[in-house]
Structure 1
Amino acid sequence: MKINNLIEIQKLVIKSYLSDIKIAVDATLGNGNDTNMIIETFGKDVKVYSFDIQEKAIISAKENIKNEYHKNIDFINDSHEYMDKYVKGSPDLVMFNLGYLPKSDHVIKTNPYTTLHAMEKAIEILKPNGLISIMFYIGHDNAREYKTLLEYVRILDARNFKAIHVNPINQDENAPKLVIIQKGDNLN
């Protein structure tokens, strides 16, 4: 594993802290890579709610994810800010992969307003000891979304949430960044 591959670091942290998950949310489905990783890592019994506002992304993801996994996935053509209306139960894992759909229209992208609302919902419905993973690709909006969400994470109550921020410091300022949040088990 190369230290500059944040996706591998993200997977390593998720696998290290979660073992037997029942419910997960892929808040930004895209081509289906995170949804696929969740099922391959945690087994075919995990229920995954996968969100994308673009029907094109859902079609692409369905093509990229093995057909045998489809029965475990709710493909939701709606904004992640409404996840609480779709997700049944408390997820163990919520993953965000922010920016735009690779090889598509760069005008359609995640934005600070809807992603902040989605983060608030994810914090609310997340199971105690569960994780939220946020992969930031910051070049698409001059880091506005990154700065907004980072400030939100920074002010989370440290008695109830722990967060790490992985920021490659000797690379391009637009290099991807990673935040992982764990919800404490002392919440109702």
Structure 2
Amino acid sequence: MGKFLKFPLVGLADDVDAILSSLCHKTLNLASGPPYHQMLYSLRISRNNFRGAASILFERLQRLKTTSSKIHDPADDSLTQCYLMMINTLSSVRQEDAYILAEQKVDGVAPPQWGIGQGKKLLKRQIITLETLRKEYQAELDRVAAIESGQFPFVDPRDDMDIL
């Protein structure tokens, strides 16, 4: 990946950014696919676009959270590593600029028969601050510690299931 950043991208950096961003969104399997998120993160860091780099990490974090094998395995530290990278990245900007805008799926909305362009209606924009990331990181560390010590619930607290 170091060779990638050594290419002279004079006049092409924005196009390369857009292409990598598109590839990040299209990648189905983060574990076995090409590391487009890492490449885009590195490109944005090399161009001093720290908030852009943090935003692509946030997208990766959201995708990692929805991957079932990653959620329940406390030995896998990809979530905590992603949090740490985002925290470090946003710590590199001024305090008043230490936030990103992220689109998240609206909970409780069942997808209707989707037409062209209707999937975006199920997303809402949210401001993610450095403080929010630190709290989520601490919650993730607490969750992993609880699992490792055997103090975990039988269901995911985010699930709205009735237990009989």
| TM-score (norm: length of structure 2) | 0.33
Structure possessing the higher relative contact order (Cα contacts under 8 Å, 6 or more residues apart)? 1
Higher strand share: 1
| TM-score (norm: length of structure 1) | 0.30
Higher helix share: 2
Question: Computing the radius of gyration over CA atoms, which structure comes out larger, 1 or 2?
Answer: 2
